[in-house]
Amino acid sequence: MIGTTHAAFALLCYYVTAYFVELPFDDPMILALLIAGSLLPDIDHPRGFLARQSYLFRRTSRGVSKFVTHRGIVHSLLAALIATAAVWVIAAFYDLGMLAVACFFLGFISHLAADSLNPTGIKWLQPFSKAKVRDGIRTGSAMEKFLFLIIIIAISTILYTAHLELFNIFFE
Ligand SMILES: [Zn+2]
């Protein structure tokens, strides 16, 4: 999946949770860590979405890709836990709050879930198991674009239901 699909899917996962558990919809730190978590796994792709954003990311992903393959160990539950533990330490240092840390984890997991819809698939339990979860939606295909559209409609529906005031501009 491409970066925008990952970010949108992470946002949908969070907004569904936020709707039912009554969490804030617009906390910048929560949204920033959520999106960061949803994009970080593709740091193992030297020509991926993240690598194309800045020189620093490009250098980092080139370095990472020398040691691991794309959708290898960086795309696993273990990597999600290790990355979240690192974010937890940083968050404790800067007093960011556990909800933002949990959202980073949610973003990371949502990335793995979305990539599991791809034919290459994801080995969630590597290095302990080679069992793969996969499906037929190719990266950048018309099917992914359709999925992206469905995600955007779902996000808009949740926002419309939970925060109607955001749509007031259309009714004035
Ligand atoms: Zn990925």
Q: pLDDT by residue (tens digit) across 46-80?
A: 888 888 888 999 999 999 989 998 889 999 999 99
CB distance 122 to 139 below 8 Å:
no
Measure 111 CA to ligand 1 centroid, in angstroms: 6
Ligand 1 centroid from CA 153, angstroms: 23
Query: For the chain, what's the residue count?
Result: 172
Higher model confidence: residue 5 or residue 95? 5
Considering the entire predicted model, what is its pTM? 0.92
Percent of the chain with pLDDT over 90: 80
Which residues have a Cβ under 8 Å from the Cβ of 63 and sit 6 or more positions away? none
Apex 82 CA angle, 77 and 85, nearest 5: 125
pLDDT for 36: 96
Q: How far, in Å, is the centroid of ligand 1 from the Cα of 41?
A: 6
Instruction: Give pLDDT, residue 172.
Output: 61
Q: Output the average pLDDT for the chain.
A: 93
